[in-house]
Amino acid sequence: MSQGKVRRLVGKYEVGKTIGEGTFARVKFAKNVETGQHVALKILDKEKVLKCMMAEQIKREIATMKLIKHPNVVDLHEVIGSKKKIFIVLEFVTGGELFDKIVNNGRMREDEARRYFQQLINAVDYCHSRGVYHRDLKPENLLLDSFGNLKVSDFGLSALSRQVRDDGLLHTSCGTPNYAAPEVFNAGGYDGAAADLWSCGVILFVLLAGYLPFDDSNLMILYKKISSAEFSFPPWLSYAAMRLIRRILDPNPVTRITIPEILDDDWFRIDYKPPVFDEKEDTNLDDVEAVFKDSEGHHVTEKKEEKPAPMNAFDLISMSRGLNLGNFFDVGQEFKRETRFTSKRPAKEIMHKIEEAAKPLGFDVHKKNYKLRLENVKAGRKGNLKVATEVFQVAPSLHLVEVRKAKGDTLEFNKFYKNLSTSLNDVVWKTEEDRQELK
């Protein structure tokens, strides 16, 4: 962790850089100062949660994750609170999203896709056995650990079995349209297990094909395609894989294949290894209620940062699996959600240059110390694109600048930073090797 003027502690956790943001929460990298264990700290503003009447949903998400202990599900270590904030301490997963792997590498071989699908089915089967339905399964919510194992995350839209009405069905339409089962769009209610399984089928198709089975910019046309299971297979899929996908993407939830039937499927069973793990003991949810009632909480200690945070070699390595300090224009950066570059310019000049470059691109700029928050005034495909930048001091005359998508569409972010890179050409530090390549 960077040791600058500011050292922010939440109980026994030292808080580091932001690694993700949502509407109601920000996720930061953190370290348990007692054990050295790295964790992800999901931070929620208590007043905002209560004002927007999100308390019950947040309680449900915490309660859901505390019920689950499975090698293919992100683990919740504990939940703590302060007077103004709620902190959910989660397992820190280092391998990124399955979504990024698909975008960067395209479709997978059947053996690789099958392995991820087997792990996904294992996780979903376990969640359903605990009365938990995810309801927003998609590659963006599937993380990979350092060994390449799949981890299901983001239970913000999950439902517990106690939410099922007297008719035995769930009645809240939610999830991402391209991955949602046809019955989710209907007013008659749906079975959470069958709906999750449909999403698994869409994910398997994406892994094998490299594109979505159902996609259209017009939502009504998209719903029509989903309702009639109107899609076609690419020619490279095996008959066994196509047969399984067709049985999962059955628009009738009553005749749709079930998880026990998937576990007996010949294609699925190739090289299948059932998970081995210890069951979680009875779960105590008292701390979930406590954080909302302002019972004894941990208070955050933080001070105003007056200069760029220093960065050591450990920080540089931990920020990226393949960090190339000199190359802001790497072709391999395409479809990334963040990028970094180094500069020998003063920190204030770098900030000014980024601000100058962002405004003509239609972005509002908000500054705080050596951080910039950029927001596109025009809404894109997934709302207003928001970009976070921060300047770190690596050495007295060398700074590292991080440019990261905070919210919005990934492709729009990539278009933005390609335009930004052109404007910052004279700011980025280039090695002698870089200069030779540009000649």
Residue pLDDT, tens place only, 75-112: 888 888 877 788 888 888 888 888 888 888 889 999 99
Residue the block writes with tokens 């996720």:
27
pLDDT of residue 218: 87
- The superfamily in CATH containing domain 309-438 is Kinase associated domain 1, KA1 (3.30.310.80)
AA identity, residue 185: F
Measure the CA dihedral 340/341/345/347, to 10°.
10
Measure the CA dihedral 403/409/413/416, to 10°.
-140
Average per-residue pLDDT for the chain: 78
AA identity, residue 94: T
359-416 per-position pLDDT tens digit:
888 999 988 878 889 999 888 777 788 999 988 887 777 888 888 888 887 778 888 8
Contact 90, 76 (CB under 8 A): yes
Backbone φ, ψ for residue 415 (5° rounding): -65, -40
Is residue 386 a known part of a binding site?
no
| C-alpha to C-alpha distance for 84 and 48, rounded to whole angstroms | 10
Q: How many C-alpha atoms does 3 have within 13 Å on its Cβ side?
A: 3
Tokens of 221: 């046309």
Check whether domain 98-269 has CATH 1.10.510.10, yes or no = yes
Residues with catalytic annotation?
136
pLDDT of residue 400: 86
pLDDT of residue 124: 93
pLDDT of residue 310: 62
Would strands 76-81 and 38-45 be described as parallel, antiparallel, or unpaired? unpaired
Q: Out of 3.40.50.300, 3.40.50.720, 3.30.200.20, 3.20.20.140, which CATH number does the structure's domain 9-92 have? A: 3.30.200.20
| C-alpha to C-alpha distance for 333 and 203, rounded to whole angstroms | 24
- Positions in the chain short of pLDDT 50: 1-4, 157-175, 297-306, 314, 317-318, 320-335, 432-439
pLDDT of residue 292: 64
Measure the CA dihedral 218/219/224/226, to 10°.
120
pLDDT of residue 330: 39
Domain residue extents for the chain:
9-92, 98-269, 309-438
Rounded to whole angstroms, what are the CA distances from 182 to 203, 242, 245, 269, 393?
15, 20, 15, 28, 51
Residue 420 burial by CB count (10 A; 0-12/13-18/19+): exposed, middle or buried?
buried
